[in-house]
Structure 1
Amino acid sequence: MTPTSTDAMKDNLGQAGAHLKTAATDAGGSVRSAATAAAEELRAGGSAVKADLADSALAGIAALEQGGSVAREQVDALMDKGKDLIDSAADLIRERPIASFGVAFAAGWIIAKLARSND
């Protein structure tokens, strides 16, 4: 028996369906492979981010430790400047005791006047 046009069409549609089924299976496999690869990349990226954050935390801790040393150095420098200022004031008082007393008296009088005027 000779195949008819209907038979040829059914055969071609069957082949098309089989090819579509194979294409869908291949697409599903590709999506699963892509999802697996993406998950692996996310894990690797997450590990890299955690490592970078840990390095950042360590650097921050080191900076804080150095900040304490810097603060101590600054306080020491200020204390030295204060001592120098007191020494120079003491020298000035020794050189000119009457003038120093007059300046101290005037400053006290001005502060007293200002304090009374605010009441």
Structure 2
Amino acid sequence: MSTQGLKDNLGETGSHLKNAAVAAGESIKSAAGVAVDELKLGKANTKAELADGALSGIAAAENMGAAAKEQMDVLMEKGRDVVDSAAELIRERPLTAFGIAFAAGWAISKVAGMGKDK
């Protein structure tokens, strides 16, 4: 009878081992399926973030053009102010303005002539 008990126990052990192997296989398949789903989700999230980043970059480039135009307008206005100030100085003090222009021209000619051989 102990031989029969041994066979029964070994048969039951084999059955449990078989069930354990099936359960492990199903667990691995399930884990692989979950991993694939997570990879797909991660890929989709990555693509979405990259697309949003590209759109933000395009918007920044568009704003950069508008900002450059604003700065150019400010510089042009300052240039007009300088010209207007110079014109006002010339109208108020023409002799002084002529003297300053003459002195500036003389200084520029001397500086420009320094590099020439005499």
> Normalized against structure 1, the TM-score is what?
0.81
**Are residues 1:42 and 2:34 paired?**
no
1:7: Cα distance to partner?
A: 5.2
Equivalent residue, structure 1, for 2:93: 96
Identity %: 56
Residue by residue, what CA displacement relative to the aligned partner does 1:4-23 show, whole Å, maximum 9, x if unpaired? 3x554454344333322221
2-structure distance, mates of 1:79, 1:14: 96
Q: 5+ unaligned residues in a row in structure 2: which ranges?
A: none
> Normalized against structure 2, the TM-score is what?
0.82
Q: 5+ unaligned residues in a row in structure 1: which ranges?
A: none
Pairwise CA RMSD of aligned residues?
A: 2.0
**After TM superposition, where is structure 1 displaced by more than 4 Å over at least 4 residues in a row?**
6-11
Equivalent residue, structure 2, for 1:24: 21
2-structure distance, mates of 1:50, 1:109: 66
> SS at 2:78's partner residue?
helix
